[in-house]
Every structure is written in C-alpha cells, then in structure tokens.
C-alpha cells in the first residue's frame, strides 16, 4: 500500500464518481451521506467538496485514514448499498471507486465483505434489551 488515503481526497473521489453521469440518484445520495459520516468529515466539508467537484476543482487533504478506518468505511458502505440486495450500476461504480481510493485490491475487498455476506439477516441483540425481553415473554 502507498501512503494512507486522506478523508477529503476519498470523499472528493466519491462525489466525482456519483456526479460523473450528471444524475444524482437517491441511492447515491444515501451512499455519499454514509461515506461522509464514516469519514467523520468536519461540518461544511461535504458541501465544500461537492461544490468544488462541480467546479472541476481537485480537493485533497484531510485526516489520514488508518487501516481499521478504511476497513470500516468500506464495510459500512457495502452494507448501505446491499441493504435491499439490489445494488445498482451507479452504486457498483461508487463501491469500485471507493475500493480503489481506500487502496484495497479486488480480492482484499471481497475478503472484507465475505463475513458480512454470511451473517444472518436478524441482528444480534443484547439479551437484556427491552425488545428481547418482550419477544421472550410473548414468544415472538
């Protein structure tokens, strides 16, 4: 791997990708919001980057991402895209670009999401949670 990618550089590459076809879909909006949140961008950064990309400017910089942060950004973005098991062509393009800017090979990225594919549909709940107790009480 080269030097660690920086948050603003990653976000800029993703915004550039979603704007490439001239249409910003609801799915793409949801995905860039997720990515921006996972990158922990400062207030105003998403809008600043978006406007800069519209103007054709290149944005670089931000905080350097650790390997663990890169893994988490990729996994959470994948979950957002695959929430309904209906990845669009645009979302696939964003995920490919995200993989590239986070400096993961195709094989490495597949390995990162493999455990997510095999998990059950039902989230694991804390047995002491109220909803868990109600389910046990009412057999649901």
DSSP string for the chain: --SPPBHHHHHHHHHHHHHTTS---HHHHHHHHHHHHHTTPPTTHHHHHHHHHHTT-----SPBPPHHHHHHHHHHHHHHHTTTS---HHHHHHHHHHHHHTT--HHHHHHHHHHHHTS-SSPP--TTSHHHHHHHHHT-
Residues 30-54: pLDDT tens digits?
899 999 999 999 989 999 999 999 9
User: What mean pLDDT value characterizes the chain?
Assistant: 85
Domain ranges, ordered by start, for the chain: 7-138
Token pair of 53 as six digits: 């990309």
Is the pLDDT score of 122 beyond 60?
A: no
- Confidence band, pLDDT 50/70/90 cuts, at residue 120: very low
Cβ atoms 85, 106 nearer than 8 A: no
Question: What's the confidence (pLDDT) of residue 125?
Answer: 46
Is the pLDDT score of 111 beyond 70? Answer: yes
Lowest mean pLDDT among 36-40, 45-49, 81-85, 130-134: 130-134
The rounded distance, in Å, linking the Cα atoms of 79 and 35 is 11
pLDDT at 124 over 90: no
Of the candidate ranges 3-7, 99-103, 106-110, 120-124, the one whose mean pLDDT is the lowest: 120-124
> What is the structure's pLDDT at 50?
93
């Amino acid at each position: 791997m080269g030097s660690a990618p920086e948050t603003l550089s990653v976000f800029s590459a993703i915004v550039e990708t979603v704007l490439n076809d001239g249409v910003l879909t609801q799915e793409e909006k949801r995905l860039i919001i997720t990515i921006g949140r996972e990158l922990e961008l400062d207030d105003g950064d998403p809008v600043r980057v978006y406007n800069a990309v519209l103007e054709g400017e290149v944005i670089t910089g931000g905080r350097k991402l650790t390997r663990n942060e890169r893994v988490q950004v990729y996994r959470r973005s994948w979950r957002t895209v695959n929430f309904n098991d209906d990845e669009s062509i645009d979302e696939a393009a964003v995920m490919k670009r995200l993989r590239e800017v986070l400096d993961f090979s195709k094989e490495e990225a597949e390995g990162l999401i493999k455990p997510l594919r095999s998990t059950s549909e039902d989230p694991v709940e804390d047995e002491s949670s109220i909803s868990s107790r109600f389910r046990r009480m009412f057999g649901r």
